[in-house]
Amino acid sequence: MKSLQLRIGLFVMGLCSLLLVACNEDTPLGGGEEVLPNDTVSILPNGALAFTCASSTDTVIVHCNGTWNIYGYAYWASVSPQSGKDGDTLIVSVDANTTGDERKVSYYLYSGEAKCELVILQQGAAVPTIPVIEEVKYIYESFDYEHIAFVKPRLELVVKTKNMTSLQIWDSRIDNMKVWNSRNYNSYECVGKETYRLILPDLQWAEVLKMRACNELGKSDFSETIYIKDYIEDSGIKALIDKELESLMGYIPGL
C-alpha cells in the first residue's frame, strides 16, 4: 500500500513539474523580460532641407519607436526642440547668409541604438556678375588738331549686369598702363532690367577703361577693356591719332 502511495506521489510531482515548465515557456508570469523590436528613427521629408540665402524656417516630422534626441551645431542654424517622441515636429531655422558661399551642416537624431542624419543646406547670397558692355558711343563737340585732343568729349555706355549696387570704373592712358585711378560712379541710369546707362565726360582718345560691378558682398571680375580710340568714327582723325600713337610708344597691333 505504501509502495502504491509513493508511486502516485512521484507521478503527481512529475506532472506538476511539466506544467510549471510549460507555463514558463508560453506565458511569462510577473518578472519576465519583454523583448522589444529594433530601435528606429527617421524624418519626413527625409534627406536635406534646402534654404535660400534669406533667414527662414522649415519643419520635419520625427518618427521613432521610443524617444529621440538631436545633436549638432552651426552658428547660423538652430533646431527646436532638442528631444521628443514619435510624431513630434522638429523646427529648423537659419539666419540670413550674407556671404557668397553655400553653407552646410549635419544634425544627427538618435533613438536608442538607431541614428539618422538631417542635412541643412543654405545658398550663398548673390554676388555681382561681370558687366557686359552692350553699347558704346564716343561723342565730342570738335577736334583740336593742334593739340590732337577732343573738345568736350564724353563716352556713353550701356552696360548689363546682375545684382549690382554700383559700377566701378578704372581708367588709364595707354602710354602709362601701369597707373590706374579708381572712380566710383553711383549716378548711373537704369534703362531696363539689369541694364544701365552711364555718361563719362572728359575722356580723351588715349584713355583705356575697365569696369566691374559691386554690391554689398564685394566686386565682380573686370569687364572687357574699352579703348576710347576704337570708337572714333572720323577716319581722318583716326589716322592722325594712329600716327600720334606710333610716335608716342611705337605701333602696337590692336591698339
pLDDT digits (tens, 9 = 90+) for 57-116: 999 999 999 999 999 999 999 999 999 999 999 999 999 998 888 999 999 999 999 999
CA separation, residue 34 to residues 28, 29, 30, 37, 67 (Å): 9, 11, 11, 10, 18
Rounded Cα–Cα distance for residues 141 and 113 (Å): 83
Q: Please, how many CA atoms are within 13 Å of residue 110, restricted to the half-sphere of its CB? A: 6
Question: Which of 74-82's residues contact partners 24+ apart within 8 Å by CB, and which partners?
Answer: 74/103, 74/105, 74/120, 76/103, 76/122, 77/103, 77/105, 77/120, 77/122, 79/107, 79/118
The helix (run of H) or strand (run of E) holding residue 235 is: helix 235-249
Residue 100 has what pLDDT? 83
* Sequence letter at residue 170: W
Cell output for 14: 512529475
The helix (run of H) or strand (run of E) holding residue 241 is: helix 235-249
Q: What is the pLDDT of residues 178-231, one digit of tens each?
A: 344 455 555 688 899 999 998 888 899 988 898 888 888 888 898 999 999 999
| Mean pLDDT confidence for 18-26 | 46
Task: Report if pTM > 0.85.
Answer: no
Q: Name the more confident of 48 and 175.
A: 48
Share of the chain above pLDDT 90, in %: 53
Q: Among 25-29, 84-88, 96-100, 149-153, which stretch is predicted with the lowest mean pLDDT?
A: 25-29
Q: 41-122, which class in CATH?
A: mainly beta
CATH topology (fold) of 132-249: Immunoglobulin-like (2.60.40)
pLDDT at 153 over 50: yes
Domain-by-domain residue ranges, the chain? 41-122, 132-249
Residue 180 has what pLDDT? 46
Cell output for 215: 554690391
Q: Name the more confident of 228 and 1.
A: 228
Rounded Cα–Cα distance for residues 203 and 61 (Å): 64
